[in-house]
Structure 1
Amino acid sequence: MRPAAFNRIAYAEMGICNPLADGAFLEALGRADLPPGARACDLGCGNAHTSILMAGAGLQATAVERDPDMAELAAERIAARGAAVELKVGEGLQALDAQEAWSLIVAIGTTALTDPGPARFAGLAARLAPGGRLLFGDLMWKAEPDPAFRDLLHQTAVYESHAGWIEAGRASGLQPLWDRVSTEAEWDAYAGAMTGAVEAWIAANPDRPEASALRNRVALLRAMQQGEAGRTLGFGLYLFGKA
């Protein structure tokens, strides 16, 4: 039996795998103002919920996921909903190298796909067609964090302030078109769904060897959210345009 992965359990029944409501995502798609059938790529699609929403909005959607567990979940959900979504398994930007330019690239919760510094979005912008759109979403600093906490998070990904993400887009030659910050209600819904799903799995599988590690991760996430993470971290959604 393959070990159960945290994300595979947490996101199996969830909507968007981030503190972001469907309505906010669909509003951003509407603001992108793309014609029906426009080619759109969802990098780091997770459980494919956003990809399915993109297809439902009339876009020609391609989902890309590098994690095998999440790619398996994405395939299951795409099939279950009969969604017209093409799924590619592999690294995000590399999966786009052989493709034509895209009308829309969605990169939500995929900081690891981008480089730190002023050219953070350069690789994504280069794969957009003229007039194309980038919809980017990720954690952002809503308050100055403790240096030790910042250094801890920056071991895996570098985050910016709300204004910093917007400026990073500008520095890569993209025009900021629209942005928003997730509400506390979105955060509560996301955190509750994620930890609740894992705790339900643990309760149903108490003797599985990975149950203890999963329980510890839930406790850590809750402690972080009640402490420095809750005080300093927000989630921003940003729509950029390419000239």
Structure 2
Amino acid sequence: MGVIEASDRAWKVVQMSENVSAAEWLRGIIDEYGVSGTRSCTAIAEALGIDCRHEKTCRDCIIKMMTAIADRIDAERALPDGMEWPRFEDGGLVRIGDELEFEGKTMLVCDATFYADDWALWCDREDMSGRLYGKYGERVKRPAPKVLDADGVPIKVGDTVYFVDGDARPLTVERIDANGGEPAVDLVYAGQILRWHSVNPEKLTHERPDSWRLWGEDLDMAVKVGEVDKVEMMRRAKALAKAGEGL
């Protein structure tokens, strides 16, 4: 069997085969083009299912060839009827390596499994792993954007924070609104006696603001237990004096 004859047979196999991957299909066409040494662009177009004789320009032919390749790739990646790749609430596809919200925590998508009626995403993080299940058409939550205090520290529900203006009352973070517009934090003080709604997180800090009153209370307590840290107390006193804090 001559090279030309063998090449023709392989060429037809490449054209007719629907069981190979898109990459194998394309590489087969490329290999045959190189083996024959005489194949024209018309022959390549035919291998992609296009008849150049019916095209007005080479540009039209090339567009159809690229479309044929894209269609073959799409067909290879398509899921069976009734199945759908999981999507986020905004419609974006959930891809391997994406972060999502899983049991209130941010997890990394490592794998996806498809069943007859639902899907499962294997999720992982440093301290835990698990599978997130959902029905086809059910949406996945993205992780809530990080809300940072005045010092750049993330704020979470349940945290104890303070206003940066020097108010030393400990406040508990009750709710965080991080979606849409400017992020905001709801706070509660002393068992829901006082509440603050939609507070700008940049006005909060996890560090308790110091004051002369607190300085005095801490000094009294330190004297009582016999553990006065003179260096620390002096540092705080200098900082308060520099900041012009009132008594």
Q: TM-score, normalised by structure 1?
A: 0.19
Tell me which structure has the larger Cα radius of gyration: 2
The higher-RCO structure (CA 8 Å, 6+ apart) is 1
